[in-house]
Amino acid sequence: MILMGDFNFHIDDASDKKAEEFSKLIESVNLTQLVNNSTHMNGHILDLIITHKKEQIVSSLKVDDCDISDHSCIHFDLNLQKPKAEKKKVTYRKTRKINSDTLRKLIVDSNVTEKVSSKETVHEKVEIFNETVEAVLDLLAPVKTKNVPIRPNSHWYTDELRTLKQERRCAERKWRKSRLEIHRQIYVYAKNKVNDMLVKSKKKYFKERIFECKGNSNELYKLVKSLYKPTSSYKPVLPSHDDTEQLCEQFQLILWRQDR
């Protein structure tokens, strides 16, 4: 188990009562906080990495400055085996490398106009045209196949969001190549625009889905359940332990503290 993010507690400040309460809370459930260096420009530890005390799954943790944020970047290695993604076979052509003049010449030399004119029906004309152009493409950009991981898009992932992400990536490459301040500002603007659109797109999608469930409590329940329901491949994992009976007693102690 890993909990991480901007918790907005000054963990390093001994006089911060809320931070002290939070530290005691995670300590009471056998969790530990791993970040020891400042993660914010003002010198506080706000961004945390929290794991179970007995689970040695995080290593080589380091905090580095970030050029595009007032928070630092936290890098670490996960001692976990990455699950293999399901793959599918796709076919494609590298059409971007085709020279337009060469393509035009080969199509003209193929006598495609005469071939199309010699056919009587529209179906035959389209068929011979496609066959001729495909033969030319096979010369310039032959069909290739490769296996790619299957990454199904979320329902709220729109074409507009995809375009904005492409623009963001383009701006990032330009900034990393030039390192000019103006290009950094353009990249930050594009990044923030993607983040804003992502939030709006999610809200819009689920708002519409909830509205569709109006008057149908069963459908609304299914929708809410789908937001937190584990995937079919998910298997519940208990914290690392040597003694099952002792682990049960720890759970019992946690529940007892919560009831007090």
In which domain, by residue range, is 197 found?
A: 159-228
Distance CA 19, CA 134 (A): 67
| Positions of the chain with pLDDT under 50 | none
What pLDDT sits at residue 152?
A: 75
Please give the pLDDT value at position 225.
Answer: 80
Residue 184 lies in a domain: yes
C-alpha span between 9 and 23 (Å, rounded): 10
Rounded Cα distance between 4 and 51, Å, is 9
Q: Is residue 32 part of a domain?
A: yes
Q: pTM for the full model?
A: 0.53
Instruction: Indicate the SS3 state at residue 218.
Output: helix
Give domain status of residue 253, yes or no.
no
Domain count, the chain: 3
Would you say residue 118 lies in a domain? yes
Residue 112 forms part of a structural domain: yes
Tokens at residue 177, please? Answer: 């190549």
Q: Is residue 238 domain-resident?
A: no
Q: Beta strands 87-92 and 73-78: pairing type?
A: unpaired
Instruction: Indicate whether 128 belongs to any domain.
Output: yes
Residues 6 and 70 in one domain: yes
pLDDT tens column, 177-204: 999 999 999 999 999 999 999 999 999 9
Same domain, residue pair 73 and 106: no
Same domain, 67 and 93: no
- Whether residue 132 sits in one domain with residue 105: yes
Same domain, 145 and 163: no
Residue 98 CA to residue 142 CA, distance in Å, equals: 11
pLDDT of residue 258: 63
In the block, residue with structure tokens 């005390």: 53
Domain boundary among 149, 172, 189: 149
Nearest to 138 by CA among 175, 95, 84: 95
- Separation CA 71–CA 38 (nearest Å): 9
Looking at the domain assignment, is residue 62 inside a domain?
yes
The angle, 0 to 180 degrees and rounded to 10, between the axes of the packed helices 159-178 and 181-212 is 160
